[in-house]
Structure 1
Amino acid sequence: MNYLVAVLPDRTQAEAAYSALEKEGLPNDGINILGEGYQSADDYGLIDPNIEAKKEIKRELFWLVGFGFIAGFAFNWLTAIEIIPEGAPIVNHILGGIFGAGAGALGAYFSGGAVGLTIGSGDALPYRNRLNAGKYLVIVKGTGELTDRATRILRQFEPENIQGYSEPIGT
């Protein structure tokens, strides 16, 4: 399945583009308008970067907290740093492990969040920003031949941006 996304500055141009696509015989079920008064990004299924960031944080927490504990424990054991001078050595090692796990959790939060926001969302974030700025998206879904026809039609409306995407095989 192929997708074509055109960014248009206002509602009248988006509606005119939709009408032109209909007039050329493109199927209505493959054409969508996103923007105020039409579908929202969430309704259409555009990836929310915050959700992707949370998924990445959870994925990294699983590994980094455990490795952080082991690294903190090992570091304290090797250096024999006394966190609590009156405490037994094992207590200090465990506290070192807890501090290492905390460092792992912070690392997961910051790196996982940054990766999820920037990479995990793909082009969804710029499109969401354009929708928030009052612009409209015309999305055409269909075969390669259909999106090529739609590209020729949409170029007449001088969109701010027009981008084609191919869905990977097997999804």
Structure 2
Amino acid sequence: MNYLIAVVPDRFQAEEAYTALEKGGIPLAKIAIAGKGYKTADELGLIDPVIQAKKKAIFMAYWLIPFGFFGGYVFDLITGLDTFSWAGEPGNHIVGGVLGAIGGAMGSVLVGGGVGWATNTGSDTVPYREYLEADKYLILVENLGDLGDRAVPILRKLSPETLQSYES
């Protein structure tokens, strides 16, 4: 879903924006307020970047770990390296596969966004949840066609802290 989101510092400005949008002809079903006493970020479907990074890293692990195992096994088979003499010929291939699977797991964390998840840095999205935690309010307008075009000038008149579009 595509939204137009304005961030305002207090409840009065949020209600003023809601009223102004209503008077501007925006349907009430397309407007929502998030903040204390109103909807939460989860109710609105605003994505938590940390949870998304974790999901993406796990998804990447599902195919990178087996691919890494296969790649490590085949690499050891082709090169004929005898890295671990105690393991014998089939054991070396299996150890190569295990090392490849470990590389695949590391790749799923790096490529899949797990670094942002592990370090809690989130992603490139605007931290709307942090605004809500700072006791600010979000005014969301479902941005369908000209609805967003009509809402932008109305919200700009109210001088919000930020005014951006968001796609969930």
Q: TM-score range by the shorter chain?
A: 0.7 to 0.9
Q: Where does residue 86 of structure 1 map in the other structure?
A: 86
1:2/1:144 contact within 8 Å kept: no
Q: Which residues of 2 match residues 27-66 of structure 1 at below 5 A?
A: 27-66=27-66
Q: Map 1:70-149 onto structure 2 (within 5 A).
A: 70-77=70-77, 78-83=79-84, 85-114=85-114, 123=125, 125-141=126-142, 143-149=144-150
What's the offset of the Cα at 1:142?
A: 5.1
Question: Given the superposition, is the C-alpha separation of residues 87 and 144 from structure 1 closer, same or farther in structure 2, using an over 3 Å criterion?
Answer: closer
Partner SS for 1:71: helix
| TM-score (normalizing by structure 2) | 0.81
Q: Structure 1 unaligned runs (5+)?
A: none
User: Which consecutive unaligned segments of at least 5 residues does structure 2 have?
Assistant: none
Q: For 1:130-169, what aligned pairs fall within 5 Å after superposition?
A: 130-141=131-142, 143-164=144-165
CA contact (8 A) 1:56 1:116 kept: no
CA contact (8 A) 2:9 2:137 kept: yes
Q: 1:109 to 1:5 in 2, by over 3 A?
A: same
Q: Does structure 2 retain, via aligned residues, the 8 Å contact 1:55–1:116?
A: no
Question: After TM superposition, which residue ranges in structure 1, 4 or more long, deviate above 4 angstroms?
Answer: 114-117
The percentage of counterpart residues that share the same residue type is 49
Residues 18 and 31 in structure 1, CA contact (< 8 A), matched pair in contact too: yes
CA contact (8 A) 1:11 1:136 kept: yes
Match of 1:23 in 2: 23
**In structure 2, the residue corresponding to 1:86 is in which secondary structure?**
helix
**Cα contact 1:67–1:104 (8 A) shared by 2:** yes
2:82–2:89 contact (8 Å) kept in structure 1: no
Mapped contact 1:2–1:147 kept (Cα < 8 A): no
1:60-97 deviation line (CA, Å, top 9, x unaligned): 213211221122223333152332x3332111211111
CA RMSD of aligned residues (A): 2.7
The structure-2 alpha-carbon separation of the partners of 1:144 and 1:86, relative to structure 1 and needing over 3 Å to count, comes to closer
Q: Partners in 2 of 1:24 and 1:88 — Cα distance? A: 77
TM-score, L = length of structure 1? 0.79
State the distance in 2 between where 1:25 and 1:100 align.
Answer: 59
Q: Secondary structure at the match of 1:163?
A: strand
Q: Which amino acid aligns with 2:139?
A: V
Mapped partners of 1:143, 1:69: distance in 2: 46
1:33 and 1:88 mapped to 2: Cα distance? 66
Q: CA deviation at 1:165?
A: 5.7
